[in-house]
Amino acid sequence: MKWWLLWCFFVSDMTQNQCSVQANSCSHPCQVNIVSYMEEVNSVLNTGNNNDSINHVKCLEKCLEEQDVEDTKPISVSNLVAVIYKPNLSFTGLKIHANEYEAMPHKPVTNRKVSVQLPEELDAGPNNTIVFCMITWPHTDGTIWGAPSLIYENRLVGLSVGGKNVSGLQKLVNITMNVTTAINETQEPKCVFFNFSTCEYSSQGCLTLWKRGESHITCSCDHLTYFGVLMVTPSLSSKDKEILLYITLIGCSLSLVCLVITVLLFITNRHMRADVSMKVHINLAVALILLNVHFLPSQQVAALSSTGLCLYMALALHYSLLATFSWMALEGVHLYILLVRVFNIYIRRYLLKLSVVGWGIPAVIVSLVVIIDRSTYGHVPLDLSKPQRHHNRV
């Protein structure tokens, strides 16, 4: 019990430490040369320490907002590209273009990687500083700031307005990234932002505008922070799921009908009943019939609230599946005896022994599982984010 309590305290402390970095005050004075501080941040990025880099990037954003500029100040240090812009007159929107070496407002750049369109709704004035900062990680093990999957080209784009907390915009901010690295068929881009409060990535308030084959990815978001494109495995659409459901139902139904016809032919044919090999085949067919009979209605049973019916369905599915595997293995043993060890082979009560193995071993396994932990069978959440959806577990 003591070890358990110690472990809980350890995990709790680790969780708090992971997300407490943004609460720390910036130890670096913003009055010093901003280029020197960007070089320091760049060196931290090279170390690969997530907590340090998050804290330094957040402080860098603050320092960039506090810089005293008259109009535009582009800055570039290795893996960091930034531009500071201060509107002189009424703000009518701003477009920023950037490549790996520079970022410029209102002006195109060669080999553009990212372009940003800020709406008029920001209402930035002479007292506000608009900051654009693009970070490209020099190396990564596949997780940038704990990302659940790859960040496209290891790049995050940060946007902020000094003196304002921008969120809930009606006219969205558009961040467009050129597709310079091929996106394979198993990946799909998803626009996300890094939440400095929770130290997690989220897609709330962001839309991903992209179709396969397009040369750019556009993220439309209603707030300002650090954005990136997460490469995720695409999930099946509802239409595809419906098509797969019909294919499964039709395929399993045809299999069930053919298996039943096979068993009926065996029962009505006297010569077939006398053949030992045919009896082994029929046992396998019966196991497959049991599997199909219980598999076809399993989804409907899972949707019901009946615990007893769900328990029976899980037990029957597990048993019939194990019986199918057992009789497949016995088919191989039987063929070995027939084709390899042909002469002088006599096994007393041969079919009975096969039946004990084929039907008995699965029963023993299922019984042991029930005795050890009955809760193994029953309702479990299929999607942890939606606990109301349950399915059978075997």
Residues 26, 120: Cα–Cα separation, whole Å: 31
Averaged pLDDT, 209-223: 91
Distance, CA of 56 to CA of 40 (rounded, Å): 9
Q: Can you tell me whether residue 218 is helix, strand or coil?
A: strand
Q: Is 10 exposed, middle or buried (0-12, 13-18, 19+ CB in 10 A)?
A: exposed
- Provide the 8-state DSSP code for 357: I
Domains of the chain: 19-232 (2.60.220.50), 238-393 (1.20.1070.10)
**Alpha-carbon torsion (278, 280, 281, 285), positive or negative:** positive
**Which residue in 317, 326, 310, 315 sits closest to 369, CA to CA?**
315
* Model confidence at 20: pLDDT above 90: no
Contact 175, 158 (CB under 8 A): no
Instruction: Tell me the CA distances in angstroms from 202 to 196, 227, 385, one per residue in order.
Output: 11, 10, 14
Q: Is 176 helix (H, G, I), strand (E, B) or coil?
A: strand
The tens digit of pLDDT for each residue in 50-103 reads: 788 888 888 888 888 888 888 888 999 888 999 999 888 788 889 999 998 999
Contact 217, 176 (CB under 8 A): yes
Exposed, middle or buried by CB within 10 Å (0-12, 13-18, 19+), for 226?
buried
**What residues have CB less than 8 Å from 206, skipping those under 6 apart?**
191, 192, 193, 219, 220, 221, 222, 227
Q: Return d(Cα 215, Cα 192) in angstroms, integer.
A: 19
pTM score of the predicted model: 0.59
| Span 361-381, average pLDDT | 83
Could you report the per-residue pLDDT of 166-178, keeping only the tens digit for each? 889 999 999 999 9
pLDDT digits (tens, 9 = 90+) for 98-154: 998 999 998 889 999 999 999 999 888 888 889 999 998 877 655 688 888 888 988
AA letter at 167: S
Check if the beta carbon of residue 41 is closer than 8 Å to that of residue 80.
Answer: yes
Average per-residue pLDDT for the chain: 82
